[in-house]
Amino acid sequence: MTDQVAMPREPYAGYHQPHDVREDAELTHIGPNTPCGEYLRRFWQPVCLTEQLTDLPLALTIMGEDLVAFRDKAGQIGVLNRHCSHRGTSLEYGIVSDRGIRCCYHGWLFDVDGTILETPGEPPDSRLKDSFVHGAYPTREFKGLVFVYMGPPGTMPEFPVFDTLELPDNEMIPYAIHYPCNWLQVNENPVDPYHSVFLHSRVTEAHFNVSWGALPVVEWHVKEGGKGVHLTNTRRWKDYLWTRINEWVAPNFAQTPDIYQNPDREKFFVRAGLSKWAVPVDDTNTMIIAWRHFNDELDLDGKSDRSDIGLNKVDFLGQTGARSYEDGQRIPGDYEAQVGQGPINIHALGNLGYTDTGVALLRRTLREGIRAVQEGNDPPTIPPTNSGHVPTQCGDVIVNVGSLSEDRELQAKIGRAMGKIITETESLPYRERKAEIEKRAKAYVSEL
């Protein structure tokens, strides 16, 4: 753990700034055999969009490992070590075959599980292909994304299906965006709701809706057993009190409610607008791999654009490096704020305050999980309910409070109550849960 360094206290102190402080390697270094890398490898990670698997192989780097992904002609997906185990030629130049992928150099054929099927240049009685296997990882295709498990085979967990991914009448469009910076500074963003007030509203212009500029009352909650963090982010806007619940599930999955939410009417548990992973490519590059959600309760003002979602694009401002440098300077977004922290944020040079409580909790949770794995334990995960889905809290609850006092303590109390109602109903099926939340939320506000 990197300790906070002493900062100068006199004006014009550029010369006295610390210049020899290094990154917090325990949390930021993710390659093979690193503590954080070993921890992250205990979870299923998305690695690409299924649309990227064409008739040609796809070169990938994930957690510092050079890989190749492909779909063979039988429809099976393979994610293999990129370099052929014969002489090291890259399988990104391999030939996708009826079964597996064939190296272009000497024709070795590899199945999706790494089994060597053919070594055609060897003598007919050669046993070389049976003496070892090529490096490969288990895969899972799910709703337009390809997931890989890169940890020890004996510790592979069940594939987690979060409840927001199986909602009725819900369309999910996958996207992937490259960020040239460390995974952690991308991973931290969803537990920092105060940046939404300033970055997305007050500092330049309203990126989404002007109501985002209302200063919220925020409380953070650690999920039981160090499994993540969720927060209640409660704003007063005209006659409405808007409780927005973001959540982060360890180690790198996060959900945000409706990007274009407008608190102009009562709404009860409008669920995720996006579900995403911050997947390390290497120590200084990250992929956001995610879904945008669409249904009759999201984006009632019609600001979304499905055609602008996919590989290196998504339908809200400031999320990619596609804009000009000048545009990024004039109206910075999440991309500029996160990449602008440098290739790897130096935590010891930061000065965290109350608004960074979620960031501190996230770092602590990660550190505990990393150390648990180092001690030989499995990292904690959220078990599914009877439905088979992993329960989540993400959503918006907007209640009409009329002329009720604008006292911030009262706002916090109401937000806390909404968060408790959402948490206490998580075992219910979606429609029952939604109805119960509406009933209990209305009853609570009516008694104030």
Distances (CA, A) of 262 to 99, 237, 309, 416: 51, 10, 21, 21
Identify the pLDDT of residue 13. Answer: 78
Q: What's the pLDDT at 202?
A: 61
- What pLDDT sits at residue 196? 80
**Domain-located, residue 6:** no
The closest of 290, 287, 252, 289 to 272, measured between CA atoms, is: 290
Distance from C-alpha of 35 to C-alpha of 284, rounded to nearest angstrom: 17
Q: How many CB atoms lie within 10 A of CB 257?
A: 24
Q: Which amino acid is at 54?
A: T
Q: What is the pLDDT of residue 3?
A: 61
Is the domain of 368 the same as that of 230? yes
User: According to the model, what pLDDT value does residue 204 have?
Assistant: 74
**Do 223 and 335 share a domain, yes or no?**
yes
N-terminal to C-terminal alpha carbon distance within the chain: 46
Residue 217: phi and psi, rounded to 5, are -100, 125
378 and 243 assigned to the same domain: yes
Domain closes at, from 92, 121, 155:
155
The reply to whether 143 and 267 lie within a common domain is no
Q: Please tell me whether residues 87 and 170 are part of one structural domain.
A: no
Instruction: Pick the last residue of a domain from 112, 134, 155.
Output: 155
Note whether residue 12 is domain-resident: no
Q: Is residue 104 domain-resident?
A: yes
Rounded alpha-carbon distances, angstroms, from residue 204 to 233, 259, 333 = 21, 18, 10
pLDDT score of 203: 64
pLDDT of residue 103: 98
Residues 140 and 217 in one domain: no
Whether 174 and 283 share a structural domain: yes
Q: Domains in the chain: how many in total?
A: 2
Residue finishing a domain among 103, 130, 155: 155
Asked if the structure places residue 295 within a domain, the reply is yes
User: Which of the residues in the chain have pLDDT under 70?
Assistant: 1-4, 201-203, 205-206, 208, 211
Say whether both 283 and 185 belong to one domain: yes
We report the CATH number of the domain holding residue 360 as 3.90.380.10
Question: Can you give the CATH number for the domain in which 95 is found?
Answer: 2.102.10.10
Does residue 349 sit in the same domain as residue 221?
yes
Tell me whether residue 37 is in a domain.
no
- Does the residue 18 lie in any domain? no
Q: Do 110 and 224 sit in the same domain of this protein?
A: no
**Domain of 52?**
44-155
- The answer to whether residue 19 is domain-embedded is no
Reported pTM: 0.93
Cα distance between residue 398 and residue 243, in whole Å: 6
Q: Assess whether 129 and 176 both reside in one domain.
A: no
Q: Does residue 197 share a domain with residue 57? A: no
